[in-house]
């Protein structure tokens, strides 16, 4: 694709988006009925603000979903500590709740505008950010172009490119170059990610490591934790977390194979809680008794499965066990972040489809804190071995905690990379009160 064709493609994207923009309302309404949009705040998706812009310099952070929101939370706190206002956009209702829990009133939260020119332009004209910081792999063409047109520096932090996404962009090198040349800086998670961004035309690129390692431990309700531990007593537990379709059934199969020998309680936490009714029905059909967090069901001795059907309570579920299988890896592809269970003292098991977190898993596996399983039978054997072998389980847990400690430092590196863009805003924020006086 030539440079001319790339410009034509972006122009076509713009005009098609403008046409679709006028009829996107029913789509958002449908998403709202499924709990994926906040009906009371749908106008934010069109770029209409629901809060006043504060005086002085302002940084726009965008974090698509829960993982990205958690990853940039310490970075946002550092920016706010420097006296700079922050507007944070997210794309899901779940990430909005996580933002409220972890950041409270120190940021202004808005839902990200749709990647159509009218919405993006309206958002930018109102908020007038001095800097845009985008988490991980969010590449929205119209947003990037409009930021570039306004000469607003835009930085990708904790940046990564999956195998699939990189392959897709490589097929369109001129289009990639036309977009990535707008980025002032890319701060990548790994050398592999950094080289991929360079190939696609991004400059400059630096490596920080994974910001998720420098986050605080996931919060929990101490009263609920104490009560559940009392109910569980001496029973052995394991957790299947961030699971996708098919993996809950696998967890049920593992439980059925092991419960007579171990008196087992299995904790299942689907990645998408809206699937939990179907998950419960499937597990019940296997003859398993299910207790659900939202119902407040007690974990009586006859309960087989504790179904974690809430948002933002992974810290609670993981503190109830020392063995965790991380989903989206056995049947689905890409994997999920294994750092939270490692940070909270769990031996980590995973399927082999962990392309999105390859470097992290390689380090954990090298240090002996994570093991990859091929299938459900191997998962059952791995869970059983760790439950009955205290020395091996403790060795994996200790190795995980050590690995996490080795990986720390991404926040410091990211802040150093951002200094040329943030320091002038610090000066501007300090001078603003004097200018008003």
The answer, yes or no, to whether residue 35 has pLDDT greater than 90, is no
Query: H/E element holding 272?
Result: none
205-239 pLDDT per residue, tens? 999 999 999 998 999 999 999 999 999 999 999 99
**What is the rounded (10 degree) CA torsion for 184, 185, 186, 191?**
140
Nearest to 107 by CA among 95, 117, 118, 116: 95
Q: What are phi and psi of 282, to 5 degrees?
A: -65, -40
123 Cβ partners below 8 Å, 6+ apart? 47, 49, 110, 113
DSSP 8-state class, residue 36? S
Identify whether residues 376 and 391 lie together within a single domain.
yes
Identify whether residues 270 and 319 lie together within a single domain.
yes
* Strand 323-326 versus strand 370-372 pairing type: unpaired
- 197 or 432, which is more confident? 197
Range name among 6-10, 135-139, 259-263, 405-409 with the lowest pLDDT average? 6-10
89-101 pLDDT per residue, tens? 999 998 999 999 9
161-212 pLDDT per residue, tens? 988 999 999 998 888 988 999 999 999 999 999 999 999 999 999 999 999 9
Identify whether residues 323 and 392 lie together within a single domain.
yes
Identify whether residues 176 and 55 lie together within a single domain.
yes
Residue 437 lies in a domain: no
Q: Which domain holds residue 304?
A: 222-406
Could you tell me the CA-to-CA distances from 223 to 230, 239, 290, 365 in Å, in that order? 11, 20, 22, 34
CA–CA separation, 285 vs 55, rounded Å?
58
What's the order of all strands across the beta sheet hosting 323-326? 290-292, 305-307, 265-270, 237-243, 323-326, 347-350, 370-372
Max CA distance (Å), the chain: 75
Identify whether residues 107 and 152 lie together within a single domain.
yes
Exposed, middle or buried: residue 15 (CB in 10 Å: 0-12, 13-18, 19+)?
exposed
Q: What is the CATH number of the domain that holds 253?
A: 3.40.50.2000
Could you tell me the CA-to-CA distances from 198 to 180, 186, 206 in Å, in that order? 9, 9, 10
43-88 pLDDT per residue, tens? 999 999 999 999 999 999 999 988 899 999 999 999 999 999 999 9
Angle made by CA atoms 87, 88, 89, in degrees to the nearest 5: 120
Identify whether residues 413 and 402 lie together within a single domain.
no
Exposed, middle or buried: residue 159 (CB in 10 Å: 0-12, 13-18, 19+)?
buried
Residue 217 lies in a domain: no
Identify whether residues 187 and 53 lie together within a single domain.
yes
Query: What residues act catalytically?
Result: 68
Residue 214 lies in a domain: no
Residue 313 lies in a domain: yes
Domain count, the chain: 2
Identify whether residues 180 and 301 lie together within a single domain.
no
Exposed, middle or buried: residue 409 (CB in 10 Å: 0-12, 13-18, 19+)?
middle
Nearest to 169 by CA among 137, 200, 138: 200
Residue 37: its pLDDT value, please? 84
Identify whether residues 243 and 188 lie together within a single domain.
no
Nearest to 413 by CA among 217, 216, 218, 213: 213
């Amino acid at each position: 694709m030539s440079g001319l064709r790339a410009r034509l493609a972006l122009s076509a994207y713009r005009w098609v988006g403008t046409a679709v923009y006028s009829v996107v309302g029913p789509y958002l309404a449908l998403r709202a009925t499924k709990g994926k949009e906040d009906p009371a705040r749908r106008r934010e998706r069109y770029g209409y603000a629901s809060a006043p812009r504060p005086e002085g310099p302002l940084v726009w952070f965008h974090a698509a979903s829960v993982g990205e929101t958690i990853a940039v939370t310490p970075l946002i706190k550092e920016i706010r500590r420097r006296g700079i206002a922050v507007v944070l956009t997210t794309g899901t209702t779940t990430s909005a709740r996580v933002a409220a829990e972890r950041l409270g009133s120190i940021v202004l939260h808005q839902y990200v505008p749709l990647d159509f020119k009218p919405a993006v332009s309206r958002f930018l004209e109102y908020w007038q950010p001095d800097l845009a910081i985008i988490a991980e792999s969010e590449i929205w063409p119209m947003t990037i172009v409009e930021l570039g047109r306004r000469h607003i520096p835009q930085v990708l932090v904790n940046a990564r490119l999956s195998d699939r996404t990189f392959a897709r962009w490589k097929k369109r090198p001129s289009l990639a170059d036309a977009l990535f040349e707008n980025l002032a800086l890319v701060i990548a998670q790994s050398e592999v990610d950094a080289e991929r961004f360079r190939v696609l035309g991004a400059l400059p690129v630096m490596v920080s490591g994974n910001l998720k390692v420098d986050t605080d431990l996931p919060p929990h309700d101490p009263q609920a934790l104490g009560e559940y531990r009392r109910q569980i007593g001496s029973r052995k537990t394991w957790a299947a977390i961030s699971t996708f379709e098919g993996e809950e059934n696998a967890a049920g199969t593992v439980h059925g194979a092991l419960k007579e020998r171990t008196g087992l309680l299995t904790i299942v936490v689907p990645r998408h809680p809206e699937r939990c009714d179907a998950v419960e029905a499937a597990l019940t059909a296997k003859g398993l008794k299910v207790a659900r967090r939202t119902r407040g069901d007690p974990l009586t001795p006859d309960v087989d499965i504790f179904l974690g059907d809430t948002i933002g309570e992974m810290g609670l579920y993981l503190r109830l066990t020392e063995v965790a299988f991380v989903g989206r890896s056995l049947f689905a592809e890409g994997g999920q972040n294994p750092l939270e269970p490692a940070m909270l003292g769990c031996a980590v098991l995973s399927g082999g489809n962990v392309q999105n977190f390859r470097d992290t898993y390689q380090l954990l596996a090298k240090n002996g804190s994570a093991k990859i399983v091929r299938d459900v039978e191997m998962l059952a054997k791995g869970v059983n071995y760790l439950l009955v072998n205290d020395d091996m389980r403790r060795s994996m847990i200790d190795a995980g905690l050590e690995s996490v400690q080795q990986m720390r430092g991404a926040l410091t590196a990211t802040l150093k990379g951002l200094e040329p863009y943030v320091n002038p805003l610090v000066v501007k924020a300090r001078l603003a009160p004097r200018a008003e006086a």
